[in-house]
């Protein structure tokens, strides 16, 4: 039976981390809210009607009778089922830890353009966003990427856990792609100091199912409605 | 063998979620960085020397040969071992989902006093913090707490998963305590609309081991170095 993925239909957002894992797994899924009549279906589940384990927000995944929310939680579930997480407890804990660290970086990247309030327009917090971006690009991007670089050094590469790919690699690829889109100038500078992350991202992009996905219309483009937004004034 | 908890020694912070679960479990643990010579030990592990699975930041937990970081990940591990998470996959996924939603609320609560940059002083982002606090207290607190209220309605209470306590209940207690400390006026207003969260928090506080812990000097007080800070100007 196909999985049902529920996420906002017009952006990559946090749903993209789930899509990448589903695609690499070759798992059949429906991207429900992008189908005709899908949005009302998602909203009904969000309102919690008849839902035993209600989600706080998209993305969430329906797998048989299970309804699973929170990106890292969905990936923990899918990774274990589709060979994209280690079989050992130790390995599973570490891949979850890496994913949660990626999630922290993603949340901070979103805060850059919405430092005051997620519910207000970017234009109403543009000055503050510029200050936030300065700090994020100078301090936080190098710290996060430096951490993942050191994990790759420690594992021996080419992937975060060593020789086998995991869902955290797909997520790191998406984080790096997003940062490159949002902060091209700063990322060019930051990546000069990195040796192992770029080859990892290339390897991910070249995996047959991922390459196929990225070239398809299932892959939405980055946009200024999503997490990684291209505002040149924030990439000073 | 006792667990070793590593966290900044002078604040509750994210370490407190781990402490509460260890205390409720009655699990022996050392709060390493609060002991003599503990800080250098924590810093060496953070620098990654000889560490196969390096942490990005505290808290992290040493359990035998395992080194586990990221609060929600540590709790998933401890909860499963100490009967503070369900035995079924479905239940474990849901408790993890709830914990990750609490973590999102905690991160937003921290952003309120540091909207521009975590690495800069509150005093240098005070005006922006006031604007962020307005939005957080009016929009976000009611939304998050309303969600947990609806989970309690759905489960039938008294706990988030129903009749049995889980680590997510301990974490929700800490979140609510923290919000009450930081935003007493706004929380008084918000809690008027809630029926089930307050009794849950009371139950948690009265559990023998938790009551014992809260009265002990192992429980650090809230402070303006932590996540939940009492700046009256942010509680308008």
Contact B97 A48 (CB under 8 A): no
For the cut 80, the answer to whether the pLDDT of residue A49 exceeds it is no
pLDDT of B100 reads: 98
Least confident of A54-58, A115-119, A144-148, B147-151: A115-119
Contact B150 A66 (CB under 8 A): no
pLDDT band at A44 (very low <50, low <70, confident <90, very high): very high
Does B89-207 match B3-81 at the fold level? no
Contact B72 A100 (CB under 8 A): yes
- Please name the fold of domain B3-81: Glutaredoxin (3.40.30)
3-state secondary structure of A151: helix
Compute the distance between CA of residue A175 and CA of residue A141 in angstroms, rounded to an integer. 11
Are the CB atoms for A30 and A3 separated by under 8 Å?
yes
Average pLDDT over residues A1-15: 97
Q: Where are the domains of chain A?
A: 89-207
For an interface test with B, give the residue of A47, A54, A56 to mutate (most B CBs within 10 A): A56
**ipTM, two decimals:** 0.97
Q: Average pLDDT by consecutive 10-residue portion of chain B (236 residues)? A: 96 98 98 97 90 96 97 98 97 98 98 94 95 97 97 96 98 98 98 96 98 98 97 96
Compute the distance between CA of residue B137 and CA of residue B227 in angstroms, rounded to an integer. 15
Are the CB atoms for A230 and A222 separated by under 8 Å?
yes
Query: Residue B82 CB: number of other CB atoms within 10 A?
Result: 15
For the domain covering A89-207, report its CATH number.
Answer: 1.20.1050.10
pLDDT of B205 reads: 98
For residue B38, give how far its alpha carbon lies from the nearest alpha carbon of chain A (Å).
Answer: 23
For an interface test with A, give the residue of B111, B112, B113 to mutate (most A CBs within 10 A): B111
Q: What is the pTM of this model?
A: 0.98
Residues of A in contact with B154 (CB under 8 A): 48, 51-52, 54
Which residues share a beta bridge with A4?
A30, A62
Residues of B in contact with A100 (CB under 8 A): 70, 72-73
Residues of A in contact with B56 (CB under 8 A): 101, 104, 144, 147
Contact B116 A120 (CB under 8 A): no
Q: What is the dihedral of CA B136, B139, B144, B147, to 10 degrees?
A: 180
Contact A135 B119 (CB under 8 A): yes
**Mean of all residue pLDDT scores within chain A:** 97
Compute the distance between CA of residue B236 and CA of residue B228 in angstroms, rounded to an integer. 16
Straight-line distance from the first to the last Cα atom of chain B, in angstroms, rounded to the nearest whole number = 48
């Amino acid at each position: 039976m196909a999985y049902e993925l529920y996420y906002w239909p017009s952006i990559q957002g946090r749903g993209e981390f789930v899509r990448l894992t589903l695609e690499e797994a070759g798992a059949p899924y429906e991207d429900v809210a992008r189908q005709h009549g899908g949005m009302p279906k998602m909203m009904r589940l969000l309102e919690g009607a008849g839902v035993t384990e209600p989600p706080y927000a998209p993305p969430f995944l329906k797998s048989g009778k299970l309804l699973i929310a929170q990106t890292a939680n969905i990936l923990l579930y899918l990774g274990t089922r589709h060979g994209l997480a280690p079989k050992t407890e130790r390995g599973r804990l570490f891949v979850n830890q890496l994913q949660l660290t990626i999630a922290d970086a993603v949340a901070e990247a979103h805060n850059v353009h919405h430092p005051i309030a997620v519910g207000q327009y970017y234009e109403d917090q543009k000055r503050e966003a510029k200050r936030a971006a300065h700090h994020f690009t100078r301090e936080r991007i190098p710290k996060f990427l430096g951490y993942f670089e050191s994990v790759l050094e420690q594992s021996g590469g080419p992937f975060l856990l060593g020789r086998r790919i995991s869902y955290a690699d797909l997520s790191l690829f998406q984080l790096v792609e997003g940062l490159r889109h949002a902060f091209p100038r700063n990322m060019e500078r930051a990546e000069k100091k990195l040796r192992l992350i770029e080859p990892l991202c290339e390897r991910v992009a070249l995996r047959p199912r991922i390459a196929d996905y990225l070239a398809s219309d299932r892959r939405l483009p980055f946009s200024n409605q999503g997490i990684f937004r291209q505002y040149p004034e924030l990439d000073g």
